[in-house]
Structure 1
Amino acid sequence: MPRSVATNQEMRERSRERILGAALEVFAEKGYEAASISDVTARAGVSRGLVAYYFPSKRELAAQLLDRWLDGIAGLLAITGTPDERLAGIIDGALTAAAAGLPVQRLAISLMMQPSTHGVFAEVETRKSARLVLVEDAIREVFAARGAADPAVEEMLLRATLEGVTVKLAIYPETFPLEHVRRRLHAGYGLPAPTTPLPVPSPPVNRLRAKA
């Protein structure tokens, strides 16, 4: 009995997700430059032809993973409430996403920082430019509603701060005191203290050290 269109689509989606998951693991372990398509096919347990069918190149694999990372940032548009509630939600959402998705965070950081791969990041960022503008404008609207003199600068400063936290968290996942940093950010913006902790691990404040 022939498979239905829906069943075929579901099988294609599963194959695609398996390949993307394998690519993320391989890139996280070996780094983008050292990883090969053969590494990805072996990890995914699929043929090279199937990988090529969905992703013509290693660059496209990385681009698709970055695409999802940027979609996660665009998820901040769904946050509602008062300006203070929205700002708290943006901070908490960004920190939770960073802690819960460290492999893709590391990939994004490495691609944007290395001169040889910065073009991949820039290409995806350009592709998502319209949605990113919506995110930037939404954050600027929050700061404008809170009475900021220059909402654009406040938006850039907040994003730079959150991205800096993400970099440190990616380097020191076992020792970065995320909950304490989160509460300091809330206090710094004059927001009420959080009543519940973030749903991710957070060690006590000590010193940032990488674990072997």
Structure 2
Amino acid sequence: MPRSASTNLELREKSRERILSAALEVFAEKGYEAASISDVTQRAGVSRGLVTYYFAGKQLLAAELLDRWLDGIGAILTLQGSADERLAGIIDGTLMAAASTLPIQRLAISLMLQPGTHPVFAAVEAAKAARVEQIEDAIRSIFGQRGADDPAVEEMLLRATLEGVTVKLAIYPETFPVEAVRRRLHASYGLPEPRTPLLISSPPVDRLRAK
């Protein structure tokens, strides 16, 4: 009995997701430059032809993963509440995402920084320009409501701070005191002290060391 169109569509989507998951694992383990399409096909357990059917090259795989990473950042647009509540939500949400999705965070950082792949990131960011501007404007609106003299600078500083935290967490996942840093960030912006800790692993404050 022939499969229905909806069944075929579902199977194709599952194959595409399996390929993307495999690419993320391979890129995270080997690095983008060292990884090959063959590595991805082996990890996904599919033919090379199927991979190239969905993604003509390695750059398109990286672009799709970065696209999803940017969409994840866009979740801040759904935050509700006062300016202080939304700012706290941005801080907490970013730390939660960084701690719980380290492979994609590492990949995004490496693709942004490496000269050979920075153009891939720039192209994805350009394609998502409207979405990125919405995110920037949402953060600037929060700082405007809080009475900041220059909301644009505050937005850039917050993003730089949170991205720096993400980099350190990616390098030192076993020793980075996420909860202590979170509470320090809340205090630095005059936000109420969090009532409960984030539901992620957070070692005590000691020294950042790779393990």
Same fold (TM over 0.5): yes
Q: Hey, what does 1:155 align to over in structure 2? A: 155
Distance 2:82 2:108 in 1: 31
Return the offset for 1:3. Answer: 1.4
Q: CA deviation at 1:4?
A: 1.6
Q: Please, what is the CA RMSD of the aligned residues?
A: 0.6
Q: Write the distance in 1 (CA, Å) between the matches of 2:87 and 2:166.
A: 18
> 1:67 Cα deviation (Å)?
0.4
Q: CA deviation at 1:169?
A: 0.3
Determine the C-alpha separation between the residues in 2 that align with 1:38 and 1:30: 13
Q: Which amino acid aligns with 1:135?
A: I
The separation in 1 between residues aligned to 2:165 and 2:38, in whole angstroms, is: 34
TM-superposition CA deviations, 1:1-45 (whole Å, max 9, x none)? 221222111111110110000000000110000000000000000
Residue of structure 2 in register with 1:209 after alignment: 209
1:78 has 2:78 as partner: yes
**Where do residues 33-52 of structure 1 align in structure 2 (5 Å cutoff)?**
33-52=33-52
State the 1:200 CA deviation. 1.2
Provide TM-score, normalisation by structure 1.
0.98
The SS at the match of 1:25 is helix
Shift of 1:146: 0.4
Which segments of 5 or more consecutive residues in structure 1 lack a partner in the other structure? none
Q: Which residue of 2 aligns with 1:31?
A: 31
Structure 1 segments of 4 or more deviating over 2 A? none
Moved more, 192-201 or 35-44: 192-201
Distance in 2, Cα, partners of 1:54 & 1:148 = 46
Alignment of structure 1 residues 54-203 onto 2, 5 Å:
54-203=54-203
Equivalent-residue separation in structure 1 for 2:134 and 2:200 (angstroms): 28
CA distance in 1: counterparts of 2:5 and 2:84, whole angstroms:
47
Matches of 2:189 and 2:79, distance apart in 1: 18
Residue aligned with 2:160, SS: helix
In 2, Cα distance between the equivalents of 1:203 and 1:16? 37
Q: Which runs of 5+ in 2 are unaligned?
A: none
Deviations 1:80-119 (A, max 9, x none): 1000000000111111111111101101111111111110
State the TM-score, normalized to the length of structure 2: 0.99
Residue correspondences, number: 211
Query: SS at 2:210's partner residue?
Result: coil
Distance 1:64 1:199 in 2: 28
Q: Percent same amino acid among aligned pairs?
A: 76
d(CA) in 1 for partners of 2:24, 2:108: 11
**Any idea what the Cα deviations from partners look like across 1:47-91, whole Å, max 9, x if unmatched?**
000000111000000000000000000111000100000000011
Shift of the alpha carbon at 1:150? Answer: 0.4
Distance 1:185 1:199 in 2: 17
